[in-house]
């Protein structure tokens, strides 16, 4: 492989000198046949399953759906059932964890495990409804949302008490420090600054009444609206919202995942989108994803993990996106020989593109092409 790309670099240098573009293009495109596109791969043991939630915890990845909880110990390459004491007859719909336990919310209440999912015990005392839409840990408190509002536990799930929005169908929850934010079906978005004693509506700028996903990234909020709207963003604690449109579909959204570098959004029917600039611009990554209705997303150290409606769990290498920071000249989410070809065209047409200026010297030349080759080779 390395020899092939070294030969390619020699070809590029020579043909740029002689301007024999047609021959260069032919050489590059022939080499392109040898390289596959980065794509999603299905996790073994989940084929054909309805999956609704995923989380990474203690070097394990957990996925839940219509047939209960599944656990992976190999970076989501494969999953096995994890339903000892858990509800395997109704959907596992949400996960969270603290320093001692992992929790799963199901259609029959909350279950807790102290042994990485080897076994589970029920912890639903005080819940108004066992049907779980979302779980989150904030400081020493746990929050549960369901069709009849929000509940809170301050003793590791042993007991739950009402925390407001009684009668509201609350589908998702997140936080920024001590402030809680939720999305509902039919009534939009709310926030609380006193652990649920009081809630205020925060829908200025929103054109959606239904929200099934909400995520904080630092002090930025992202909320997934209903079909025909898309993803909304707030940079002032929910006081105002803007609909994001640059590269992202106006579908309904069911799940988000974040790390320091990116946010990923899962849609109903349009697949997965990611942004490296806090939502200003988005790119789609659907190659290999055979079910474009994504109910939840998670990031572990090396992969994006997607829970899909009908085809189980998929994973996608994070390195495919992180390398976009350098070398992805055409912005298609992949660094490969097509980026080399585009860089060549930019040189010959005397055009400048910041993505192609790999060494940041304000010029696009053969040195940038050599840098792209090195990125592909992992050097």
pLDDT of residue 311 exceeding 90 = yes
Confidence of residue 18 (pLDDT cuts 50, 70, 90): very low
Residue-wise pLDDT tens digits, 207-261: 999 999 999 999 999 999 999 999 999 999 999 999 999 999 999 999 999 998 8
pLDDT of res. 35: 41
When pLDDT is cut at 50, 70 and 90, the band that residue 309 belongs to is very high
Q: In this predicted structure, what is the pLDDT of residue 88? A: 66
Q: Identify which of 9, 21, 40 has the alpha carbon closest to the alpha carbon of residue 303.
A: 40
pLDDT tops 90 at residue 10 = no
CB 357, CB 346: distance < 8 Å: no
Tell me which DSSP letter residue 298 carries.
E
Q: What is the CA angle 370-304-120, rounded to 5? A: 155
- Residue ranges of domains in the chain: 2-36+336-377, 41-319
Handedness of CA 334, 339, 341, 345 (dihedral sign): positive
**229 vs 29, more confident:** 229
- The pLDDT of residue 30 is 42
User: At residue 6, does pLDDT exceed 50?
Assistant: no
pLDDT in tens, 351-371: 887 678 888 787 899 999 998
Whether 365 and 347 have beta carbons less than 8 Å apart is answered as yes
Query: If you write DSSP's letter for every residue of 82-149 in order, what string do you get?
Result: --SSS--SS-EEEEEE-SS-EEEEETTEEEEESSTTS--EE--TT-S-S--SEEEEETTEEEEEETTE
Q: Are 159 and 153 in contact (CB under 8 A)?
A: yes
Facing residues of 234 across strands?
221
What's the pLDDT band for 33 if we cut at 50, 70, 90? very low
> What's the DSSP call for residue 75?
T
| pLDDT given at position 379 | 65
**Token pair belonging to 192:** 């609380």
Amino acid 363: pLDDT: 87
Q: Edge-to-edge strand order for the sheet containing 200-201?
A: 170-176, 179-184, 189-192, 200-201
Report whether pLDDT(102) > 60: yes
What is the percent of the chain with per-residue pLDDT over 70, rounded to a whole number? 86
Section 300-315 average pLDDT = 96
Mean of the pLDDT values across residues 298-323? 92
- Average pLDDT over the chain, rounded to an integer: 89
User: What pLDDT score was predicted for residue 13?
Assistant: 52
DSSP assignments along 302-326, one per residue:
SEEEEEESSS-EEEEETHHHHGGGS
341: pLDDT strictly greater than 60: yes
31: confidence class by pLDDT, cuts 50, 70, 90: very low
pLDDT above 70 (res 28): no
Tell me the whole-structure pTM to 2 decimals. 0.77
User: CATH classification of 41-319, choosing from 3.30.410.40, 2.130.10.10, 3.30.413.10, 3.30.750.24?
Assistant: 2.130.10.10
Report H helices in the chain: 2-18, 21-32, 319-322, 337-348, 366-377
pLDDT of 358 reads: 83
Q: Tell me how far apart the alpha carbons of residues 337 and 33 are, in angstroms, rounded to a whole number.
A: 10
């Amino acid at each position: 492989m390395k020899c092939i790309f070294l030969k390619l670099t020699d070809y590029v240098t020579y043909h740029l000198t002689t301007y024999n573009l047609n021959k260069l293009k032919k050489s590059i495109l022939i080499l392109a046949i040898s390289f596959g596109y980065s794509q999603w791969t299905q996790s073994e043991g989940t084929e054909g399953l309805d999956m609704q939630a995923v989380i990474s915890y203690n070097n394990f990845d957990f996925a839940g759906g219509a047939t209960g909880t599944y656990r992976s110990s190999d970076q989501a390459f494969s999953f096995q059932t994890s339903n000892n004491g858990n509800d395997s007859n109704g959907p596992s719909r949400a996960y969270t964890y603290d320093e001692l336990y992992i929790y799963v919310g199901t259609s029959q209440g909350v279950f807790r495990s102290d042994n990485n999912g080897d076994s589970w015990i029920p912890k639903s005392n005080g819940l108004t409804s066992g049907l779980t839409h979302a779980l989150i840990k904030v400081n020493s408190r746990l929050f549960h949302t369901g069709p009849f509002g929000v509940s809170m536990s301050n003793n590791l799930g042993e007991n739950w008490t009402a925390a407001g929005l009684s009668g509201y169908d609350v589908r998702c929850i997140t936080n920024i420090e001590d402030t809680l934010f939720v999305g509902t079906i039919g009534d939009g978005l709310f926030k609380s600054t006193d652990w649920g004693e009081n809630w205020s509506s925060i829908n200025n700028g929103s054109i959606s009444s239904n929200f099934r996903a909400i995520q904080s990234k630092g002090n930025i909020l992202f909320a997934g609206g209903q079909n025909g709207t898309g993803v909304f963003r707030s940079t002032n604690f929910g006081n105002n919202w803007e609909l994001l449109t640059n590269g992202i579909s106006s579908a309904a959204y069911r799940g988000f995942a974040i790390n320091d570098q990116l946010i990923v959004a899962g849609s109903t029917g349009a697949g997965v989108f990611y942004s490296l600039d806090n939502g200003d611009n988005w790119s789609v990554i659907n190659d290999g994803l055979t079910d474009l209705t994504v109910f939840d997303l998670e990031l572990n150290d090396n992969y994006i993990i997607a829970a899909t409606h009908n085809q189980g769990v998929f994973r996608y290498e994070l390195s495919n996106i992180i390398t976009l920071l350098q070398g992805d000249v055409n912005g298609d989410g992949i660094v490969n020989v097509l980026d080399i070809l585009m860089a060549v065209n930019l040189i010959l047409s005397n055009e400048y593109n910041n993505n192609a200026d790999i060494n940041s010297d304000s010029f696009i030349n053969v040195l940038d092409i050599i840098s792209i080759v090195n990125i592909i080779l992992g050097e």
